[in-house]
Structure 1
Amino acid sequence: MEQSFSYQGTVLHEWVDYNGHMNDAEYNKAFSQATDAFIDHIGLDERTREVYDYTVYTLETHICYMQEMHEGDTFTIKGQILDVDAKRIHLFLTMFNEQGETVATLEEMLMGIDRKEGRGAAFPGEVADKLAVMLETDEQHERPKQAGRTIGIRKK
């Protein structure tokens, strides 16, 4: 069963660093582009954001790097909604290489924002409905092992 959202891209020349692989900041850029596509996918494209005077902010992110990507490599980012409430989305994105191997993950918390008020606000009705359907689909998938991780040095 497929997840409810996916995004495709290619590692650009300018994304490669002095080590010859995709720079860590560029993974974030690719995930950010996927998040923007996800926001459009749930019904908050540019026109709808204008109509409702509504947008989405990122509150928190956590990236895990597993494998290197190189110039010209193509990737697919698949999204899995882990949770939703009236104004927040707990989203997990996984980047796969051409071989279908996981190369990086990003966990993030997004919040819907009323631009007139400048604060968090409930998702417009049709967006909330779409998120509910997507969550129902995504909950059928196993929770990613990287979800909920904290950074720290394990003591032996």
Structure 2
Amino acid sequence: MTALPLRLPLHREAVRQEWIDYNGHLSEAYYVLVFGHATDALMAGCGLDADYRASTGCSLYTVESHLRYLREVPDGAQLAVRTRVLAATAKKAHFTHEMYVLPAPDAMPLPDAAPAATTELLTLHVDQATSRTAPFPERSLARLHTLTEPPPPWTGRAISLAG
């Protein structure tokens, strides 16, 4: 059996013209859409994909998020999203996504590149039939634990006018 990578592959997506707002850059709702697609990739990488959802009726529900818009993203930009799992318990997962603008579709973010946006998410594993939390399958929880890494310094912050 092949060992799974310690990191998820980058989620890649191109910005579409219809996602551009009246200021000429990516509209705020589409940052969330791209991050949502990266969450879907995380779920697939942990065995929580569409087949799992169809067969079990369970899925991840986001119950809290904190999104930071850091740089403008232009029309046609090639994006890469890096996902970090920070923690997972029997029924919860805490993770982040960092969005990078790339110079070309197959390029990698430079090691010192600054993200265009970040999000921090808390999710629950939910049985949709009962609308209650349910334990992750053992294999999925083990995969989440394998992916766990230290949090970046920007996590855990609150919104405030101070500072």
**What TM-score results when the alignment is normalised by the length of structure 2?**
0.86
How much does 1:148 deviate?
0.6
Please give the alpha-carbon distance, in whole angstroms, between the structure 2 residues aligned to 1:115 and 1:31.
Answer: 22
Decide which moves more: 124-133 or 7-16. 124-133
- Name the amino acid aligned to 1:78: R
Q: State the percentage of identical aligned residues.
A: 30
Decide whether the 8 Å contact of 1:64 with 1:146 is kept in 2: no
Match of 2:101 among 92, 97, 113: 97
Match of 2:142 among 99, 122, 129: 129
Count of aligned positions: 150
Please give the alpha-carbon distance, in whole angstroms, between the structure 2 residues aligned to 1:67 and 1:32.
Answer: 19
Match of 2:56 among 52, 67, 72: 52
Where do residues 75-154 of structure 1 align in structure 2 (5 Å cutoff)?
Answer: 75-98=79-102, 100=109, 101=113, 102-135=115-148, 138-139=149-150, 143-154=151-162
How much does 1:152 deviate?
0.5
Runs of 4+ in 1 over 4 A off after TM superposition: none
Please give the alpha-carbon distance, in whole angstroms, between the structure 2 residues aligned to 1:5 and 1:148.
Answer: 24
Decide whether the 8 Å contact of 2:8 with 2:42 is kept in 1: no
Deviations 1:7-62 (A, max 9, x none): 00111101100111111111111111111121111101111112222111010111
- Name the amino acid aligned to 2:119: L
Q: CA RMSD in A?
A: 1.7
Decide whether the 8 Å contact of 1:5 with 1:38 is kept in 2: no
Please give the alpha-carbon distance, in whole angstroms, between the structure 1 residues aligned to 2:67 and 2:129.
Answer: 32
Unaligned runs of 5+ in 1: none
**What TM-score results when the alignment is normalised by the length of structure 1?**
0.89
Unaligned runs of 5+ in 2: 1-5, 104-108
How much does 1:5 deviate?
4.3
Residue 28 of structure 1 corresponds to 32
- Name the amino acid aligned to 1:152: S
Decide whether the 8 Å contact of 1:22 with 1:71 is kept in 2: yes
SS at 1:97 equivalent? strand
